[in-house]
Amino acid sequence: MALDLAIIGGTGLYQFPGLEKVERKTVETPFGATSAPVVCGELAGRSVAFLARHGEGHSVPPHRVNYRANIWALHSLGARRVIGVNAVGGIRDDMGPRVVAVPDQLIDYTHGRFTSFCDADGAEVRHIDFSEPYTASLREAVLAAAGRAGVAVVDGGCYGATQGPRLETRAEIARLRRDGCDLVGMTGMPEAALARELELDYACIALIANWAAGCGDEAEISLEEIFANLREATAVVPVLIAALLAA
């Protein structure tokens, strides 16, 4: 079976609205269980798979997500293009709450995660080119879809992937800024690299939920405000994905 698109939903996106002819699939993988069943269906007349990265009840923290199982399952179902939807914090001045961004670069600060399919016993060792972590053609397609749908997005930016589940200190965010990061999130890696290992096209839609520590006017980051911002930003995702599929 071929899929036109697979979507991995992050915090605040646990089901994908508008899917028709829905079928839930529990996929067995060599790497264990996926975060949730894969929900397959049709959207805009195209075949789509959706997987909730943190589980359908947000029960899986970012450092415990089975990224290998998730990516392997989508690939085994026929996915060749994957969109990762990620809730992030904003560092750069134009990346405040409720902004939607399509990053083009990434720095990995995570640790202790299974970062490669090569980690499996007996697996072939592959050295992928990761100089451009997001597939240019898919990024461009997302940006074009946003233009057609009238969805405002920021083109580009560097995503700094941190370990979580705690939020970062002001000093850590200051370091990320010095390193050139524009966004900070907890789930960008190893997801992007694993997709590259399986030769999947992969792009990220980053939903900015809050200013990162020390970047906004707020003295303290409010979880209530984070989720309110996410609800607002997440609302544009189905519109954007439908426009992408229509092309």
SS3 percent helix, strand, coil of the chain, rounded to 5, is 30, 25, 45
Annotated binding site: 11, 53-54, 186-187, 210-212
Binding site per annotation, positions for phosphate? 11, 53-54, 187
Helices (H), the chain: 67-76, 136-149, 170-179, 191-197, 223-234, 237-246
Asked whether residue 211 is domain-assigned, the answer is: yes
> Looking at residue 136, what is its pLDDT?
98
Q: Let me know if residue 34 belongs to a domain.
A: yes
Residue 197 lies in a domain: yes
Question: How high is the pLDDT of residue 47?
Answer: 96
Residue 124 belongs to a domain: no
Residue 99 belongs to a domain: yes
User: What is the Cα–Cα distance from 116 to 193, expressed in whole angstroms?
Assistant: 7
Instruction: Look at residue 1 in the predicted model and tell me its pLDDT.
Output: 62
Question: Along the chain (247 residues), what's the average pLDDT of each consecutive run of 10 residues?
Answer: 90 90 94 97 94 95 98 97 97 96 98 91 87 98 97 98 96 98 98 98 97 83 87 94 93
Q: Is 196 inside a domain boundary?
A: yes
Instruction: Please give the pLDDT value at position 219.
Output: 63
pTM here is 0.95
In a domain, 30, yes or no: yes
Range of the domain at 51: 5-117+130-246
**Cis ω before 133 (30° cut-off from 0):** no
Q: What is the CATH number of the domain that holds 57?
A: 3.40.50.1580
Binding-site residues for substrate, in ranges, read 186, 210-212
Q: For the CA atoms of 153, 8, 211, 58, what is the dihedral angle to 10 degrees?
A: 150
Total domains in the fold of the chain: 1
123 in a domain, yes or no?
A: no
Report the number of secondary-structure helices (H) and strands (E) in the chain.
6, 11
Supply the pLDDT for residue 216.
81
pLDDT of residue 124: 83
